[in-house]
């Protein structure tokens, strides 16, 4: 199925985006191995996380509404944020992915979600931290944390995203804040995800 997904993506996203997708797939695999999570699920979620990345805003909104997703005013203003949720719909409807954990990891990769599974955490982190995103000192530090404590890495990655959104005066989705607060609370208790 991997080749089928890559062929589908090749017709719909630029080559640079495919390079990113492959980077997310690889990092998700490596983190899954490290944390003893399901490597096949990690690979599938990583490969499919951006299926709807280049869908038009009107299509994203329409598909989200048809699916009955609860839309925040920030989603209405920035439909691009819905690409994660819609990518899960495409994974299910086009590629026959019905594993709820994989679908949830695809949905959670942009904004996170309080209560994320370990699989969702690693795809969330891989999306921001895969090597193609650059090698700034901030990203390198976040990558190091990702190998030590998933929840701390999620919290700090949310902080990293929030700083960017504040600096660029963008709207902030409340789910990002809720995800950050959840991960901070878990990291403070020094817990690791269950496999």
Is residue 167 situated within a structural domain?
yes
- What CATH number does the domain containing 113 carry? 1.10.3210.10
pLDDT of residue 191: 54
Number of domains in the chain: 1
pLDDT reading at 192 higher than 70? no
Average pLDDT, the chain: 95
pLDDT of residue 132: 94
Is residue 6 situated within a structural domain?
yes
pLDDT of residue 194: 46
Indicate the length of the chain as a whole number. 195
pTM to 2 decimals? 0.94
Is residue 194 situated within a structural domain?
no
pLDDT of residue 115: 96
HSE toward the beta carbon, residue 186, CA cutoff 13 A: 25
Domain, as residue range, for 47: 2-188
Can you tell me the mean pLDDT for 67-77?
A: 95
Note the pLDDT tens digit of each residue in 16-51: 999 999 999 999 999 999 999 999 999 999 999 999
Note the pLDDT tens digit of each residue in 153-180: 999 999 999 999 999 999 999 999 999 9
């Amino acid at each position: 199925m991997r080749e089928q997904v890559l062929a589908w993506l090749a017709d719909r996203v630029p080559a640079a985006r495919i390079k990113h997708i492959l980077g997310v797939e690889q990092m998700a695999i490596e983190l899954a191995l490290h944390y003893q999570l399901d490597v096949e699920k990690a690979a599938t979620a990583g490969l499919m996380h951006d299926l709807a990345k280049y869908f038009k805003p009107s299509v994203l909104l329409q598909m989200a509404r048809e699916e009955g997703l609860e839309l925040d005013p920030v989603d209405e203003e920035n439909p691009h944020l819905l690409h994660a949720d819609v990518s899960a719909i495409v994974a299910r409807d086009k590629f026959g992915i019905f594993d709820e954990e994989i679908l949830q990891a695809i949905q959670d990769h942009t904004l996170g979600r309080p209560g994320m599974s370990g699989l969702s955490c690693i795809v969330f982190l891989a999306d921001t931290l895969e090597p193609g995103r650059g090698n700034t000192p901030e990203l390198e530090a976040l990558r190091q944390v990702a190998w030590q404590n998933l929840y701390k890495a999620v919290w700090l990655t949310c902080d990293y995203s929030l700083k960017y959104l504040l600096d660029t005066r963008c709207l902030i989705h409340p789910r990002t804040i809720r995800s950050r607060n959840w991960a901070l609370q878990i990291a403070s208790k020094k817990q690791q995800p269950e496999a």
